[in-house]
Chains A and B, each alone.
Chain A
């Protein structure tokens, strides 16, 4: 009985792992052949649309359900709220109408003639004093460590500043929603746009009062989740109810405005920060009070994590949540970290500015206060070389101008756990040599199919094309949701384990047939080898299975070294700022990122590229804008909620940091960390260019010009 040791090959022994494989489903995604939840369109599908509250806070005064039901083409009306109910933010769901055509659904919504009684709301997230006066604050805690007064007294330099990061939304290009259809025998098939394929059936089953075994969740492809698509959501359940009621399939995808208002957002964070540092710029004292909103629950980013990554000895911090009538938050790619990084690393850079020191040296001086200083130091060196930091850096604001345009560089660094979590898979080796993997996982951009195919092809010594990967269906073995950068570690661990176990069983058959020592066999280049001698082809080996495919279940996580957790990452930005228009152009953005063992270099880098673009978005242009008078999210559209276009992105340069010390740690999640530093790095580059801090992200031209004006005054 061959018992192969579970582990990864040495990097140089791999023929696929760590190379730049193209995504195996890239063709489908690029050509439109890939079918998303919103593409599901079985015969007779009804179009559902929602009516939402147009006020910051209002009571539903009246609604005419029967009138809507009489509208030609309307087949079902679903109420989320009843007369007298309070709707606590703009966008709160009131009703849904399912009709044979989308225009009829609109007619139905209009016929509802919903009337609201507006109540007094509060939506101003930035104005702490205003929130205190309005009694809309919530104590989020206070903490003290060390002797702050003594540390400030001993500091060579003390800096005080105000910083902020606006609320942003997830802006998934495919909005939240589903296509729900009931089978004749009472089973629900939900094509759901979800990052939680295995975990959503119960969320439908509970409210629908059916058994979870009667719910099929399908999500072959998803057009963006970023942490906002873990749930069935009340609108998903409503689609299932309307489908049940009408006996017809119902598709309910949120419209863009509603998607932005209730589909999730990343909470804001504003702070007053006082920092004391020694002559090298090493922070010895940190005092901060930060506030922000996540909606009605009144929480801002957690106090314990500020300052971010750096752990000075003397710290006093306080946090205040603001209770607003705004749509509730959802996890957004690396929850809290981008805000924390933007508050911390900008204050750090302001110390450099105040000391007239090179920001690089100040970050360096503080590395001893981080948990992984060797990694950060090495990554800083690489990033600095890539962006040519030495040649480009100049004292803040002293780089000279060309027709009002100034240029500068800045940096920031981050951390993230990325631990592997529960994920099972079934690996199947067919007698004809083809390989399959089944997992109730999903691909939210991670390249899940490509990762699994790469791991199994490497394990069995076959080609990627020999492996078929089945994901996106809850009838496959359970996988945790894709959140927390856990997917690649989880699925690669589970599939490697199953693959190695399957290979051991196959080697038993080969050893028996050829009367050789199975424990000395290896599988490479579609051949089974004994040392350097070919024993048989892969297909000859699998033919020994007879008629019964070999099936092995794989599990994750396990303490066998295939995966671990904890990554760093350094980013540097080179920007130009037009001081006469306030516009910022990203010239170059460098990301050096570690994630342990890289399974597929292309998909890994692609994660980083995507994160950088998302970072540019929240650094420069995107923000939720609430109108205080009406309580409405007034830029809930793709025109005024500004996302970067190709021309806004500049040159992105990505380097995966993977020396032996990193690759030997096994696979670690990557999806979230590279989005963390981008805001702070760009802010610091802008500050280096201008000599003035633009205190709030996004750094729209208005804030740039206001900061310059403020500095002049």
Chain B
């Protein structure tokens, strides 16, 4: 680990100022630190300054805000799971439960999850975000069993590492960003936050140097039902190889409105809007869920080594829909 400066702001304004004081591109935020420490130890990101947010109280709160709930980026996963305001958002719990490690649940934060850099082993072994060598993709030529099956036509072939983003996007979450200018504040749909990088400098989101995530806003749940299903290889701490979060509004048994967002299949959380639309006017059954899953994956193209992920992703979509509708028998899947 290389030496770095440490800054501990007391409020949001100070955080923006300290992030932008000098070389914002080499300033990083410390939230829960569950992944930052790995990145620092392996020297995977250039860091001159670490700005520790744990003394900024406004970033930790979960409170009502207009017709919804506002969640601070520093709220821990455990906080999310135990706050009554969030109880109706079932898809988030399905994910937090599957994170399994108490250490990550109690230290890991919402903002940290949303900004989590890819787990791609080429990136983690120092070959850069895109995993290139001499301009060519190591991922495409190498072992891509855990890589993208959607949205990988450009250079980026990693999969989005955020576990919570699919659920939040399916709920129509918005995200609040601060900086890089003093007083600058941006509010946008969470889906628009992510982008598929075309170059190493692009990053996984639209965040500019010195800008950071402060809050997430979720609309009132009304009568919506939601669920997530993650396919994880083992029973312990691990990342999913395919995941889906769904949110349904039903009139009687018929779907009025649906949203399906996949995780771990593309460089961004993958919104399967056509699959979701196909459910409108239909009940959720094994068949309709299965058909929607087929539509969601219709455009999937495997890399050399990961065709199996298409099937896993289909399963995730199908089971998330069945689970949201109360039709998935828990404990049956392996």
Chain A residues in the interface with B (C-beta under 8 A): 54, 103, 106, 110, 402-405, 576-578, 580-585, 620-621, 625, 627-630, 632, 634-635, 637, 639-640, 642, 644-648, 700-702, 705-706, 709
State the CA gap A189–B238 with chains docked (Å): 41
Bound-state CA distance A629–B304 (Å) is 14
Given contacts A403-B329, A581-B315, A582-B308, contact A625 B143 (CB under 8 A): yes
Give the distance to chain B from A704, nearest Cβ to Cβ, in Å.
8
The reply to whether the CB of B141 lies closer than 8 angstroms to some CB of chain A is yes
A residues less than 8 Å from B312 (CB atoms): 580-582, 701, 705
* Interface pair B235/A403, CB less than 8 Å apart: no
**Distance to closest chain A CB from B124 (angstroms):** 8
Who on chain B is nearest to A627 by CB?
Answer: B142
> B residues within 8 A CB of A110?
2
Identify the closest chain B residue to A628 (Cβ): B142
Tell me which residues across on chain B come within 8 A of A705, comparing CB atoms.
308, 311-312
Say yes or no: B138 contacts A630, CB within 8 Å.
yes
Using A405-B334, A577-B334 as known contacts, say yes or no to A709 and B308 having CB atoms under 8 A apart: yes
Task: Name B204-227 residues within 8 Å CB distance of A.
Answer: none
A578 to B229, CA, bound (A): 14
Please provide the chain B residues from 247 to 274 with a CB less than 8 Å away from any CB of chain A in the complex: none
Q: Which of B124, B133, B306 contacts A630 (CB 8 A)?
A: B133
Q: By the criterion CB–CB under 8 Å, are B238 and A642 in contact?
A: yes
Nearest-Cβ distance from residue B136 to partner chain A, whole angstroms: 8
Confirm or deny: B237 has a beta carbon within 8 angstroms of a beta carbon on chain A: yes
Closest to A702 in B: B308
Residues of A contacting B141 in the complex (Cβ-Cβ under 8 angstroms)? 628-629
Q: Name the CB-closest residue of B to A706.
A: B308
Tell me if B67 is interfacial: C-beta within 8 Å of chain A: no
B311 touches A580 (CB 8 A): yes
Number of interface residues of B (CB under 8 A): 39
Contact A629 B1 (CB under 8 A): no
A residues less than 8 Å from B66 (CB atoms): none
* Neighbouring B residues of A403 by C-beta, 8 Å: 329, 332-333
Q: Name which residue of chain B comes closest to A701, CB basis.
A: B233
Question: Do A629 and B142 have beta carbons less than 8 Å apart?
Answer: yes
Is B122 close to A, CB under 8 A?
A: yes
Q: Can you give 7 contacting A-B residue pairs, CB < 8 Å?
A: A580-B312, A630-B127, A630-B133, A640-B119, A644-B234, A644-B235, A700-B145
- Cα distance, A402 to B141, chains bound together (Å): 38
Whether A581 contacts B231 by the Cβ 8 Å rule is yes
Residues of B within 8 A of A585 (CB): 334
Say whether A627 contacts B308, CB under 8 Å: no
Closest beta carbon of chain A to B121's beta carbon, Å: 4
Whether B231 contacts A634 by the Cβ 8 Å rule is no
The answer to whether B236 and A645 have CB atoms under 8 Å apart is: yes
B300-334 vs A, Cβ < 8 Å mask (1 yes, 0 no): 00000111110110110011000000000100111
Q: In the docked arrangement, what's the CA distance between A401 and B311, Å?
A: 17
Establish whether residues A645 and B138, one from each chain, have CB atoms under 8 Å apart when the complex forms. no
Which residues of A sit under 8 angstroms from B234, Cβ to Cβ? 620-621, 642, 644-645, 647-648
A703 and chain B: residue at smallest CB distance: B308
Residues of B within 8 A of A405 (CB): 332-334
Are the CB atoms of B307 and A709 closer together than 8 Å? yes
B residues in contact with A621, CB < 8 Å: 233-234
A635–B146 Cα distance when bound, in Å, is 12
Do residues A648 and B333 form an inter-chain contact, with CB atoms below 8 A?
A: no
**A692 CB to nearest chain B CB (Å):** 14
Query: Which of A620, A632, A648: most chain B Cβ within 10 A?
Result: A632
Nearest residue in B to A625 (C-beta to C-beta)? B143
| CB neighbours of A630 from chain B (8 A) | 127, 133, 138, 142
| Contact A576–B334 (Cβ < 8 Å) | yes
Which chain A residue has the least Cβ–Cβ distance from B316? A581
Contacts beyond the supplied A647-B236, A648-B234: 10 A-B pairs with Cβ under 8 Å: A403-B329, A578-B333, A580-B318, A583-B334, A634-B121, A637-B124, A639-B119, A642-B238, A648-B235, A706-B307
Q: How many A-B residue pairs have CB under 8 A?
A: 110
Closest 8 CB pairs of A and B: A647-B235, A645-B236, A578-B334, A705-B308, A580-B315, A583-B334, A585-B334, A702-B308
- For B133, list chain A residues within 8 Å (CB): 629-630
CB distance from B261 to the nearest CB of A (A): 19
Shortest distance between the CB of B189 and any CB in chain A (Å): 31
A634 to B308, CA, bound (A): 20
Instruction: Tell me whether A103 and B1 are in contact (CB under 8 A).
Output: yes
Are B332 and A402 closer than 8 Å at their CB atoms? yes
A634: chain B residues at CB < 8 Å are: 121-122, 125, 142-143
CA distance A702 to B259 in the complex (A): 28
A103 closest partner in B (C-beta): B1
B241 with A701: CB separation less than 8 A: yes
B231–A583 CB distance below 8 A: yes
Chain B: CB-nearest residue to A578: B334
A582, A620, A637 pick with most chain B CB within 10 angstroms:
A582
Docked Cα-Cα span, A709 to B307, in Å, equals 10
- Chain B CB within 10 A, most for which of A584, A629, A645: A629
Give the complex CA separation of A637 and B124 in angstroms: 10
Q: Taking the nearest CB of chain B, how far is it from the CB of A638, in angstroms?
A: 10
From B119, B121, B138, B145, contact of A702 by CB (8 A): B145
Taking the closest CB of chain B, its distance from the CB of A544, in whole angstroms, is 59
Interface core residue of B133, B233, B237 (most chain A CB under 10 Å): B233
* Chain A neighbourhood of B329, CB < 8 A: 403
A637: chain B residues at CB < 8 Å are 124
In the bound complex, do residue B308 and residue A701 qualify as a contact, i.e. CB atoms below 8 Å apart?
Answer: yes
Separation of A632 and B311 alpha carbons in the complex (Å)? 29
User: With A and B bound together, what is the CA distance between A194 and B243 in angstroms?
Assistant: 44
Contact A581 B119 (CB under 8 A): no
Complex formed: what's the CA distance from A628 to B136 in Å?
Answer: 14
- In contact, A702 and B306 (Cβ under 8 angstroms): yes
Chain A residues near B2 (CB-CB < 8 A) = 106, 110
| Complex Cα spacing A181 to B3, Å | 30
Chain B residues, CB < 8 A from A706: 307-308
Question: How far does the Cβ of A111 sit from chain B's closest Cβ, in whole Å?
Answer: 12
Residues of A within 8 A of B231 (CB): 581, 583, 701
Q: Which of A576, A630, A647 has the most CB of B within 10 A?
A: A630
Q: Which of A576, A700, A709 contacts B233 (CB 8 A)?
A: A700
Residue in A585, A634, A701, A709 with the greatest tally of chain B CB atoms within 10 Å: A701
Closest to B242 in A: A581
B127 x A580 contact (CB < 8 A): no
Q: Check if A627 sits within 8 Å of B333, measured CB to CB.
A: no
The answer to whether B1 touches A581 (Cβ under 8 A) is no
Residue of A nearest to B229 (CB): A581
Min CB–CB distance A283 → chain B (angstroms): 33
Q: Which residues of A contact B315 (CB under 8 A)?
A: 404, 580-581
Least CB distance, B218 to chain A, in whole angstroms: 29
Give min CB distance, A172 to chain B, whole Å. 19
| Contact of B122 with A584 in the complex, beta carbons under 8 Å | no
* Alpha-carbon separation in the docked complex, A635 to B143 (Å): 10
CB distance from A697 to the nearest CB of B (A): 15
| Contact status A580-B333, CB under 8 Å | yes
Measured CA separation A403–B332 after assembly (Å) = 7
List, in ascending order, chain B residues with CB within 8 A of A576's CB: 334
Task: Give every chain B residue within 8 A of A647 (Cβ-Cβ).
Answer: 234-236
Q: How far is the CA of A231 from the CA of B125 in the complex (A)?
A: 29
- For the complex, what is the distance from the CA of A625 to the CA of B144, rounded to whole Å? 11
Alpha-carbon distance A54/B43, docked complex (angstroms) = 15
CB distance from A703 to the nearest CB of B (A): 8
Among B133, B332, B333, max chain A CB count under 10 A is at B333
Q: How far is the CA of A648 from the CA of B122 in the complex (A)?
A: 27
User: In the complex, A45 Cα to B204 Cα: how many Å?
Assistant: 43
A634's nearest neighbour on chain B, judged by CB, is: B121
Q: Which of B2, B236, B238, B334 has the most CB of A within 10 A?
A: B334
Measured CB to CB, the nearest residue on chain B to A638 is B237
* Cα(A628)–Cα(B143), bound, Å: 8
Query: Which of chain A's residues has its CB closest to B136's CB?
Result: A629
In the complex, what distance in Å separates the CA atom of A584 from the CA atom of B231?
12
Verify B334–A581 contact, CB threshold 8 A.
yes
Known: A577-B334, A629-B141. A646 touches B308 (CB 8 A): no
